[in-house]
């Protein structure tokens, strides 16, 4: 999406990666992220191996300890670490952090070989130290990126950073599964590697950090100057404070409650898989390789949901889709715990990730559109914080609860029994709780839904067929599903600026946007524009001028505007029919009603959903231009005053369609007013926004 896609346009990503220092930093953080995910998988598996001869409860407690050590520091300590990191040199903070983490992770299998009695304790200590080190590394990385890329590319650079951080998860999981599968071969070739304590994945993990440190050591970074603001205490609120502050700022409307509940349920479901996944695959006889496959399936499904969410069931209510996606994730979790088969478990976890991805991208898009701009940051902080807490609680409590639940054998009659392990029981119980939460989320989000069809099943079946309930399929191609916004005003009013700003804003929210102008948006229009605005063509009569402008509008509507509106895009046009009525009607003193009739026929009766009039005194507007550049701008001040009066008269005739703004106001204030008026008119986003991806940050590392 435009900027709204997780990576933006491929050409934009290539442009950012063409900057050598950023490309090197990106490679470094990709390797570090790969090491982070590998360490999570390896340490959870080693904890289970180290306690293999202990009771089931002890094994689960060990896994709980590892998960808590890996996830809790970033939630509890990141504000303090971020403030301290601002005092440190960024380059050497990243280099030292990568080297130290590499040494700590490499020491775990070494200690396991040399002092097996102390192996588990050192695993927890080394993991905690590595996570604390990462708390200093992350803000140093984030603060470095703006110094390496131009400001206009910063958004794309941040999206590439997210790709490196979370795209490494399925890669690490698959790599871990492969390493686990070939461990027997490695043990045969190198006898010392046959011991489970000598986990080769941790050695590889350490290597990724060492290489990352070498890459970042040579970066040409500017000298870091510490500012007072960066040292102020509490500049980064902790997660609980962010959640409470976001809840207060956004309020408790049913939509917000529904989105928060649904996203928390899916995040907790993912956390349960991370926490109980290793014991669960052990019960299925899959071991380390199975755990890697399970985590890879989770994140592959998540990525698929994030990418496909905005494009799936376009005719279906987004609020209903949020609830159904959360239900899908909950049911997948429930059956994952109930079915004792590794292949089916992997498929179900893939569906869980898919449902979670669909829910997150849909929920964050709804918040981005429905919540006022001045409250949006607080709303996303609420979603972000709630999601991270849900992941943490799910991942930490899952193995602990499984240990206390224990294993059970349920007779089904005769010699047939059903083995219900503690991990499976926890996954099923979590699935039931998530299912209840998903139903609550669906109910809350769909209260007062203006987009809901006549019923869930009719709307769903119609959306699967690509049509809207109550609309015949043969009529669907001509149905307008997008929004048509027009910016009008006199010369120098700032129309083009607002078209540009609104186009960027809408693309940031995940919409397909067509920014256009009249005359001149089509091949025919460009020729007509040259004729109409050429100062040498002063001989054009008033009626001929009207017909030329009308021809441009007819071609523009047929070629550009209607196709975009029919596919659900938002069209923002610099001028439309009202300019013809004001300039040629009022300005040329022609019959406005006659021009309106001709224009209505030419444009097939298409009327904008909103017309924004930027009102400006002709003297002020023309002075902004620095002198007349075309035939219309060269007209007299009296002509432009008549045009202004014509615009104002049109706005008074149709106040529901018009938004009149003083063009002398600051550009940012005008943009905010237009956004506020546009928001209820917008269709569903067709792409996921960077905020949606950012909303998935609950796992491991804060941004």
Q: Report residue 508 CA to chain centroid gap.
A: 10
Question: Domains in the chain, ordered, with CATH?
Answer: 1-155+182-226 (1.20.1250.20), 239-474+691-703 (1.20.1250.20), 482-681 (3.40.50.300)
Q: How far is CA 395 from CA 44, 223, 374, 692, in A?
A: 11, 40, 34, 22
Residue range 153-173, pLDDT digits in tens: 777 777 788 778 888 888 888
Binding-site residue positions:
489-496
d(CA 20, CA 16): 9
Tens-digit pLDDT profile for residues 205-259: 889 989 988 988 887 776 655 544 443 333 344 566 667 666 665 566 788 888 8
Q: Which of 347, 374, 41, 26 is nearest to 204 (CA)?
A: 41
H helix intervals, 197-253: 200-217, 228-231, 239-250
Half-sphere exposure of 383 (CA within 13 A, CB side): 33
Q: How far apart are CA 41 and CA 692, in angstroms?
A: 26
Cα–Cα nearest to 369, from 564, 509, 173: 509
Per-residue confidence (pLDDT) for residue 610, from 0 to 100: 92
Residue 611: strand pairing partners = 486, 658
Contacts of 434 (CB under 8 A, 6+ apart): 265, 266, 268, 269, 326, 329, 330, 333, 334
- Tell me the C-alpha distance between 690 and 491, whole Å: 36
Low-confidence ranges of the chain (pLDDT < 70): 1-14, 75, 78-86, 152, 183-198, 222-242, 244-252, 310-311, 314-315, 369-374, 376, 414, 448-454, 462-478, 626-628, 684-703
> Are the beta carbons of 380 and 694 closer than 8 angstroms?
yes
Residues annotated within a binding site for ATP? 489-496
Q: Which pTM does this prediction carry?
A: 0.64
Report the pLDDT value the prediction gives residue 577, as an integer from 0 to 100.
93
**Through-space distance between the first and last CA atoms of the chain, rounded to whole angstroms:** 21
């Amino acid at each position: 999406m435009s900027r709204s896609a997780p990576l933006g346009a491929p050409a934009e990503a290539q442009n950012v990666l063409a900057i050598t220092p950023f490309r090197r930093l990106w490679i470094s953080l990709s390797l570090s992220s790969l090491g982070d995910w590998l360490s999570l998988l390896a340490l959870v598996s080693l904890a289970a191996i180290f306690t293999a001869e202990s009771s089931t409860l002890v094994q689960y407690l060990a896994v709980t300890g590892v998960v808590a050590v890996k996830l809790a520091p970033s939630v509890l300590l990141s504000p303090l670490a971020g403030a301290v990191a601002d005092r440190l040199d960024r380059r050497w903070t990243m280099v030292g952090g990568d080297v130290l983490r590499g040494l700590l992770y490499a020491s775990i299998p070494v200690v396991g070989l040399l002092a097996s009695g102390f192996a588990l304790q050192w695993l927890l200590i080394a993991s905690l130290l590595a996570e604390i080190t990462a708390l200093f590394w992350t803000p140093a990385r984030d603060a470095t990126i703006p110094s390496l890329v131009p400001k206009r590319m910063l958004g794309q650079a941040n999206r590439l950073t997210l790709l490196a951080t979370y795209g490494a998860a399925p890669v690490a999981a698959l790599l871990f599964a492969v390493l686990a599968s070939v461990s027997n071969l490695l043990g045969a070739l190198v006898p010392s590697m046959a011991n489970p304590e000598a986990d080769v994945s941790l050695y590889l993990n350490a290597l990724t950090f060492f290489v990352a440190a070498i890459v970042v050591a040579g970066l040409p970074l500017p000298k870091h100057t510490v500012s007072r603001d960066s040292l102020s205490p509490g500049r980064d609120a902790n997660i609980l404070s962010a959640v409470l502050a976001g809840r207060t700022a956004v309020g408790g409307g049913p939509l917000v409650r529904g989105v928060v509940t649904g996203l928390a349920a899916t995040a907790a479901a993912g956390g349960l898989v991370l926490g109980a996944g290793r014991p669960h695959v052990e019960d299925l006889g899959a071991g380390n390789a199975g755990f890697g496959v399970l985590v890879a399936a989770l994140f592959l499904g998540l990525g698929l949901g994030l990418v496909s969410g905005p494009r799936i069931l376009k005719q279906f209510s987004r609020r209903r889709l949020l609830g159904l996606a959360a239900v899908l994730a909950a049911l997948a979790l429930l059956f994952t715990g109930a079915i004792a088969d590794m292949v089916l478990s992997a498929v179900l976890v893939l569906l869980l990730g898919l449902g979670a991805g669909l829910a997150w991208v849909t929920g964050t898009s709804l918040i981005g559109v429905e919540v006022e701009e001045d409250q949006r940051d607080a709303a996303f902080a609420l979603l972000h914080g709630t999601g991270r807490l849900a992941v943490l609680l799910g991942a930490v409590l899952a193995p602990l609860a499984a240990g206390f639940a224990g294993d059970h054998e349920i007779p089904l009659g005769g010699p047939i029994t059903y083995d219900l392990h503690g991990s499976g029981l926890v996954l099923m119980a979590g699935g039931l709780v998530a299912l209840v939460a998903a139903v609550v989320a669906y109910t809350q989000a769909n209260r007062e839904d203006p987009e809901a069809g006549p019923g869930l099943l009719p709307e769903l079946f119609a959306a699967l067929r690509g049509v809207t309930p109550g609309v015949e399929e043969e009529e669907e191609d001509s149905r307008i599903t997008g929004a048509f916004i027009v910016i009008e005003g006199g010369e120098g009013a700032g129309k083009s600026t607002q078209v540009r700003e609104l186009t960027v804003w809408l693309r940031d929210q995940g919409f397909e946007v067509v920014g256009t102008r009249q005359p001149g948006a089509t091949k025919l229009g460009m020729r007509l524009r040259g004729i109409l605005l050429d100062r040498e063509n002063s001989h054009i009569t008033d009626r001929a001028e009207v017909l030329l402008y009308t021809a441009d509008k007819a071609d523009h509507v047929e070629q550009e505007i209607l196709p975009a509106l029919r596919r659900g895009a938002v069209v923002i046009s610099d001028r439309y029919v009202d300019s013809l009525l004001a300039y040629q009607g009022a300005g040329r003193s022609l019959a406005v009603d006659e021009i309106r009739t001709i224009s209505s026929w030419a444009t097939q009766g298409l009327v904008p959903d909103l017309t924004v009039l930027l009102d400006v005194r002709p003297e002020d507007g023309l002075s902004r231009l620095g002198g007349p550049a075309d035939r219309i701008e060269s007209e007299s001040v009296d002509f432009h005053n008549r045009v202004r009066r014509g615009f104002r008269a049109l706005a008074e005739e149709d106040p529901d369609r018009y938004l009149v703004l003083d063009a002398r106001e600051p550009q940012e204030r005008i943009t905010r007013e237009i956004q506020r008026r546009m928001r209820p008119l917008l269709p569903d986003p067709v792409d996921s926004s960077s905020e949606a991806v950012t909303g998935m940050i609950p796992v491991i590392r804060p941004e």
